[in-house]
Amino acid sequence: MIEIPTDLPADLVPLSWLVGVWEGTGVIDYEAEGRAFSGEFAHRVSFSHDGGAFLNYSADAWLLDGEERRPLVSEIGYWRLARPVGEADAGPGLLPATQPPVARTADDVEALRNADGGFDIEVSLAHADGILELYVGQVKGPRIDLATDAVVRTAGAKHYAAATRLYGLVDNHLLWAWDIAALGRELASHASARLARAE
């Protein structure tokens, strides 16, 4: 059974079912540059909040090779509802808000509902291997669809051009699938996992 935290800011209620730590395994299946990449991996994902109008995100994965666990990706980021920021919001950088904070209500959030009946969201992720992604998409009940709006790579990072991610809550498990366009290949299935709530 999923328990929804009661201390969330109103902006986080549509994403509330994600809050917690999730662990499980998944499979990699991707071909590029004449090579096949496949295998099973362990995955740990954490969604938390600190009172702001966003979820903190971190994820780590390890390739399972018998008893050995080899590190794969490590990523951190932020998930939030897409909404215009105003004078009561801080930023950019360390600039403080120029108006007093305004407590947002459930009605304020409901006004953000899109024509499809969901809520538009923005996700920014930084990978330890020098890749940064900005995703846009929507949360609609227990399903999230995301697609990259921008990808930035450091000079030394491997080629990575675009991605989509799908998250869903099914039988109290977090299921996800990640398609990527990398190493010269067009967008294709890359990995998927089934995670159970650990904390």
The predicted pLDDT at position 195 comes to: 98
- Structure token pair of residue 114: 């899109």
The CA distance from 15 to 108, in Å, is 15
> Both ends of the chain: CA-CA distance in Å?
12
Q: What is the pLDDT along the chain (199 residues), one digit of tens a residue?
A: 556 666 789 999 999 999 999 999 999 999 998 999 999 999 999 999 998 899 999 999 999 988 899 999 899 999 999 999 999 999 999 999 999 988 889 999 999 999 999 999 999 999 999 999 999 999 999 999 999 999 999 999 999 999 999 999 999 999 999 999 999 999 999 999 999 999 8
d(CA 100, CA 112): 22
Selection from 183, 171, 118, 182 nearest residue 146 by Cα:
118
Q: How far apart, in whole angstroms, are the C-alpha atoms of residue 19 and residue 125?
A: 17
What is the spatial distance between Cα 93 and Cα 49, in angstroms, rounded to a whole number? 20
Q: Can you read off the two tokens belonging to residue 13?
A: 């209620």
pTM: 0.94
